[in-house]
Structure 1
Amino acid sequence: MGVTNDPRSHGLWAQSACDAPVTGCLTQDTTADVAIIGAGYTGLSAALHLAGAGRKVVVLEGQEIGYGGSGRNVGLVNAGLWLMPSDVMRTLGQTYGERVLSLLGQGPEVVFSLVRKYGIMCEAEPTGTLHCAPDHAGVRNLQQREKEWQQLGAPVTLLGEGETRRLTGSNAYRAALLDARAGTIQPLSYARGLAAAAMAEGAEIHTASPVSSVYREDGGWLVRTPRGSVKAQWVIVATNTYTDSLWPEIREEQIHLPYFNIATRPLPPACLNLILPKKQGVWDTREVLTSFRLDQAGRLVVGSVGSLGMIERNIHRQWAHRALTRIYPMLRDITFESEWYGRIGMTVDSVPRYHRLDEQVLSISGFNGRGISPGTMFGQILARRICGELTDADMPLPLTNIRQPPLRIARENIYRFGSTAVHAVFDRL
């Protein structure tokens, strides 16, 4: 199981994940070409690709592999960003917009290719995802998304009400956008599998090794932990939303959005014949969205915006039961087996950030709820940047300075307490 002793930190994923590779804390002073801080998707992907290119890599993780968002998310392997392609182009401009859309459009295939290549046991289901519309406004949104993605040649198709009903097993939606590029995985197992693959390529990974300081020494960087250190020419900061006091500006640049998941007990065969027969992952077009998907054992995992703190916990549980009953009336008497939550790092324009925190210290963060595929791809991109295959001018994101968004704390409180208020009344009216 591992991860933490808190059953609400990783929930079902900790219970059902494959075993993590054997790691331990750093207990000596060592050297490397690259020191990577953080063992989530970005750091592990960077380690895998750097080690595969012959670089000596040391990964330092303060907790365990996949401790942050990589081990807590719902497990949807999506293509692209939350934004429509036209919004990406307006935000980043034509050059960077085209690069990001091309790169992240390929993301799910890269994820599933790594799963196949390294034999990662992560319940991979490359059968697509369904973005569902419960109302006319949602249908219009999906129509525009279909138009824009198809103009780019993406295998994205808007389904009518009948086909949506067949693929979801529910009468709750008027339409769905099927993205054939996408799919689902067991997210913590994928993180552990990436770690095992990186180690097989020669990377070192040390867990329970929080970084206490990073400073220049003899033309390189000395990265210290409580019991050892790494001297490296390059540093990748891959801590994203779970960044601590070492680089507080990364955390301060992001608006934290809490997100929870609740899993049922395995559904009976009669229900599994109807509900998500092709095991696509689903989310809807509501502002406070609902997501759901099946795991390999037939549990239905439902999630939404909100935390599971003492104040909100019962409200979100009761909402989850009402939501499932609305979507699938046959689940009225179903019971829940586990619950967990984490946080998503949002940027003000919903686009990730590429930063040079210092000379030869790089970071890409702010995935806006799309961590699996972008984290994997941007880790690969950082590896290529360090290997000299790309310059800053070639990167898919512009190099930017860190800027704190206005009213960050107020926005975070709105997300937390606003979602609780919505869930307190939704499906009651």
Structure 2
Amino acid sequence: MRILFVLPLLILINQLSAQEFLDLDLSRHCNFGGTELDEELYTFTSGSPVMENLVADVLKLGGDLEQNFTLIQTNVESISAVVADGKRYLLWSQDFLERATDLQAYSGVAHEIGHHVNNHSLQAEFQAGEEDEANLFMGYVLSRKGFQNTALPFIFGRDGHQFSHVWSNNWLEYAQKGLKKHEDALQVEGLLFEDDASMRRFMDAAFPFPPPPCYQQLELAPRNFNGCSTLGQVAQKLVQPLSAKQYPRRYMSVPDGFAIITQIEQYQSDGAALTGKDRWKELPVQESFELSFSYLKSLVFPRKAHLRIFVFIVTNQNFNAKGKQISKEAAKDWFNQAVNRLPKTVANAPYTPDHTVEMLVYEFEVPEANQRPAQNCPCHLSAGEHLKKSGLEAWLKN
């Protein structure tokens, strides 16, 4: 009798010892199903070949993609993508895996992996667009797995229930678009949607070359890219610090190379980026109305919004500035025109000693008085100061 009592107790103790508190900042996440994450999550060390095989299959179906995230079994409700401290995580639940249909399992894993392979920030201000891209990827993967268009409405159950997620109104539309992508291009190989249309979109997203004038320029030392043999590897070297500092970025084409464009951001007069949502505002940030020296000073000296865009150009072509100054709206549109990944053809192109990696910084000011943006020409800060104050210097040493 004692043995029968002790045995379950030992099993319970073993299970408890196999779990640990998950110490992650969960503020930037997407939880498949739309519910909020539990405040306390725990990891389980058992692992699962089933989940590992599912992840590997989704990456293969997506186009032989590389895994850029860490897989962690936790007590989440289903599947969750998390970005924390510049790293990416895919959290998953054994309970979800056991109760989900094949359609639901592939949908959940593909949607959350879609965030990671598209290098999404998972910040609230970019949520709608990033969810659409993740659903596009999900539909593409489901189509390659053999699921039909008629199956998509049943991802969330045959009762028609849809979880209260921010993308619940659009998810089916973009999932169907992803599914159609595969149907229209069954010969897709390589990276996601890698076909002639992918290369055309990249070429159409052409950064003006030579670049418009009034920028600060800094050539990044070749030693930063030691070990890189392809342009894709150089891109990854640049993406790492940008991800660590939470810079949304996109790719544009330049002759014999590519450019990485960051989203326009607001920074302080010394070059340090603003924090939180203020970082992405394009008008002077309103301060509190407390009777402070800063407030009284703002009455005499009107505030300005200091804005900047980083452009990293990788090419074997030399260049100088050419053309007219660029407006803020035109520069901002670079990011909107750019694509979310390099075509496989470009990523596999050789990186040679003739290639250089140049960092350009474009500055703009928006006065509080008239809110009319203007380019700083010349720039107020050097490229080195921008590099240091942005926090990128530790990663990209000149």
TM-score by length of 1: 0.23
Which protein has the bigger strand share? 1
- Return the TM-score normalized by structure 2: 0.25
